[in-house]
Amino acid sequence: MDGSTITKTVNVILLGPPGAGKGTQARMLEEKFGLVQLSTGDLLRAAVASGSEAGKAAKAVMESGGLVSDEIVLAILKDRLGDDDVKSGVILDGFPRTTAQAEALDELLKETGQTIDAAISLEVDDEAMVGRISGRFTCGACGEGYHDDFKPTAVAGVCEKCGGTDMKRRADDNAETVRERLKAYHAQTAPLITYYEQQGSLSKVDAMASIDDVKASLDGLVAGITG
Ligand code: AMP
């Protein structure tokens, strides 16, 4: 954190197709503003790894690039939102992904007098997303993200942030599955852009720009709602 910590409850949604940079940017916003990144993809991967009933049900769907049922995702999200560390707000990354999830989220927040302060759509070209996703990997120890072409590690296989050497690639980050994930995004998630536009909370950011330029735009937007 760099002193921009906020004191009021702030809830931000990052919308955008797989590869748009939601995870990367959410992690940076988390660091800067002290908000908590909440990724339903991460929560589901943890459920799969733990072998829970929800994880077993989600595994095959995730591998195919489709969307896990609203029922499972909402149960996992509700559980996480009950934790103390998220009480002053969250950056939602990868949630909501359907209109039913967006409506359920509005209801959940209403129970504690909260709202969505900003839904930010990261605007990208689909064609570039397959390349962006296919080369990415993360440090298994600290979660720092890298890319074979766009952000390689200085020393092959060694994390620049923590020195970890256990690099991970996601099973669903292959070209074929990415195309299915893009299809799911356009069919089920893209309509949320209109949903939040109608609520008056939507902003759009050109996410084909560099990571630093996108970060600057997002910092400005989030500073605007926290200030
Ligand atoms: P992500 O890490 O956000 O790319 O998500 C990886 C996969 O987890 C997706 O392709 C879906 O199968 C599943 N998933 C993550 N979040 C959701 C959600 N909100 N609704 C349905 N499925 C989800």
pLDDT tens readout for residues 120-155: 999 999 889 998 898 999 999 999 999 999 889 999
User: Residues 6 or more apart from 101 whose CB is under 8 A from it?
Assistant: 70, 73, 74, 95
Quote the ligand 1 centre to 77 CA distance (angstroms).
12
User: Residues 6 or more apart from 209 whose CB is under 8 A from it?
Assistant: 217
User: Which of 68, 71, 78, 189 has most ligand 1 atoms within 8 Å of its beta carbon, as the pocket-test mutant?
Assistant: 68
Quote the ligand 1 centre to 227 CA distance (angstroms).
31
Q: Is the pLDDT of residue 6 over 60?
A: no
| Residue nearest atom 19 in ligand 1 by C-alpha distance | 95
| Residue nearest atom 6 in ligand 1 by C-alpha distance | 41
User: Residues 6 or more apart from 134 whose CB is under 8 A from it?
Assistant: 173, 174, 175, 178
Quote the ligand 1 centre to 79 CA distance (angstroms).
17
User: Which of 37, 45, 67 has most ligand 1 atoms within 8 Å of its beta carbon, as the pocket-test mutant?
Assistant: 67
| Residue nearest atom 14 in ligand 1 by C-alpha distance | 41
Are the CB atoms for 164 and 142 separated by under 8 Å? yes
Structure confidence by residue, pLDDT tens digits, 195-217 = 999 999 999 999 999 999 999 99
SS3 label, residue 32: helix
- pLDDT value at residue 3: 46
Are the CB atoms for 23 and 29 separated by under 8 Å? no
Active site residue ranges: 22, 97, 136, 170, 181
Q: Is the pLDDT of residue 57 over 50?
A: yes
Integer Cα distance of 82 and 105 in angstroms: 13
User: Residues 6 or more apart from 152 whose CB is under 8 A from it?
Assistant: 146
Quote the ligand 1 centre to 155 CA distance (angstroms).
31
Quote the ligand 1 centre to 108 CA distance (angstroms).
20
- The packing angle between helices 126-134 and 175-184, to 10°, is 140
Q: Is 106 left (phi over 0), alpha (psi -120 to 50) or beta?
A: alpha
Are the CB atoms for 177 and 65 separated by under 8 Å? yes
Mean pLDDT of 62-72: 97
| CB-based pocket (< 6 A), ligand 1 | 18, 39-41, 44, 61-62, 65-68, 73, 94-95, 97, 101, 172, 181
Lowest mean pLDDT among 6-20, 111-125, 185-199: 6-20
